[in-house]
Amino acid sequence: MFLKKKWLVVSTVFTVAILLTVVGKWAVDTVNAQGGYEELRTFTEVLGHIKRHYVEDVKTNDLVVGAIRGMLNSLDPHSGYLSPEAFKELHVEKKGEFGGLGIQIAIQDNVLTVITPIEDTPAHRAGILAGDRIIRISGESTKNMSLHEAVTKMRGPKGTAIIITIMREGWKEPVDFNIVRDVIKVQSVRSKMLHGNIGYIRLTQFQEPTASDLSSALSKLKKQGMSSLILDLRNNAGGLLSSAVEVTDLFLPPKKLVVYIEGRAGDRVEYFTEEQKADYIDIPMVVLVNQGSASASEIVAGALKDWNRAVVIGVQTFGKGSVQSLIPLRDGSGLKLTTARYYTPKGTSIQGIGITPDIEVKLEAKNGKEQPVVRQKGPLEVDEKDDIQLQRAIDVLRAWRVFETIRDRAA
């Protein structure tokens, strides 16, 4: 597969590991070359005044780290500074197991917002929903709190409790949720056969083994007689770019553009399906999305939509289409820096826009408010009648089958 192996891109969460060594001379030369030496001298002057005159003794390292955090936080919600511990821990999620509450978060409209709770995790069982606004963590306001700080505060040893304060649309007052942390083991692929030989596969995240697990699930469903497929990406907040490309590869012919990224200088990196492949799944297909579908989910949905490979059903997706590069620093810490944006094969920007479904299906409203995705009682106890988005997908596939039958008769 045509992938740039030295770049590992994440979404919420995409990672590009860039092997750089950042040294003081390089930083000064870079600033000086861009005409910013005077500003750097002012920074040094301020640092000196604080060290000499501030009412309390302050460690230089704390001041420098604070300045770096402030500098990165001023750029966008997804850029930030990672301590050595946080930088090391960030690589754990891509393996599919980490400690915490089990929620994917982002900063939306300057507010810490839940993209989605991960199924069968403490947050999911506690009743946290996509779109919830987290206004306090352990009593501390999340106003001006970076995404990385929030993640760090919510993670902790298994069995320890934390209180997060949630404000939900339609509520008059915020509510405290007391949640006990656990080791989060994410099963990214779940599947079953629905009535009428319709295969149903739900992807909860895009991790390293996701494409392989998905391939196995597809093989099992094919043996059971699957004639059409529903790929459910609702409340899937994303994951690895490489995984998104590998998943899309299972449904498209060879040498098809899946996604491309473009940086400030106009440099473009393209990701294609494999040049040579024995087979791919070529049956009628529907992709389900919602406001909790982000990042890698939007890449997959966008590619399948652009190539007319699947009908996309649901509501507008989240719109997380920026690329974060992880830059390791000398002391083991790192920078998470937004360096590019994602575009679908037809050149549609995902950032801040999302993927528009071919068929919009909003969930039934109560009291004028759109309801969240129907909760599942177990891993895949899908109630087709209660889930109107899923029901519409089934109806579309049934109609698809009728049209194919008529076409075959005409031939």
Domain boundaries, the chain: 16-90, 97-185, 189-326+338-406
For residue 10, what pLDDT is reported? 37
DSSP 116-173: EEPTTSHHHHHT--TT-EEEEETTEE-TT--HHHHHHHH---TT-EEEEEEE-TT-SS
Catalytic residue among 94, 256, 320, 336: 320
At 168, list the tokens.
């939900």
**Does residue 14 carry a pLDDT above 60?**
no
State the average pLDDT over residues 59-82.
Answer: 89
For residue 300, what pLDDT is reported? 98
State the average pLDDT over residues 241-262.
Answer: 95
Q: pLDDT digits over 213-233, tens only?
A: 999 999 999 999 999 999 999
Nearest Cα to 262, choosing from 336, 320, 349? Answer: 349
Verify whether residue 295 is a known catalytic residue.
yes
Verify whether residue 227 is a known catalytic residue.
no
Which helix (H) or strand (E) segment holds residue 410: the answer is: helix 388-410
Q: pLDDT digits over 194-216, tens only?
A: 999 999 999 988 988 999 999 99
Q: Residue 367: which residues within 8 A CB-CB, separation 6 or more?
A: 170
Catalytic residue among 132, 232, 249, 306: 306
For residue 298, what pLDDT is reported? 97
Domains 97-185 and 189-326+338-406 share a fold: no
Verify whether residue 320 is a known catalytic residue.
yes
For residue 18, what pLDDT is reported? 29
Superfamily of domain 189-326+338-406: 2-enoyl-CoA Hydratase; Chain A, domain 1 (3.90.226.10)
State the average pLDDT over residues 64-93.
Answer: 82
State the average pLDDT over residues 173-180.
Answer: 96
Fold of the domain spanning 97-185 = Pdz3 Domain (2.30.42)
For residue 13, what pLDDT is reported? 33
Q: pLDDT digits over 329-361, tens only?
A: 999 999 989 999 999 999 999 998 999 999 999
**Does residue 240 carry a pLDDT above 70?**
yes
Catalytic residue among 11, 79, 191, 295: 295
One-letter amino acid of 321? G
More confident residue, 13 or 47: 47
- The mean pLDDT of the chain is 83
C-alpha–C-alpha distance, residues 395 and 87, integer Å: 46
C-alpha–C-alpha distance, residues 193 and 182, integer Å: 31
Pairing status of strand 359-360 against strand 311-314: parallel
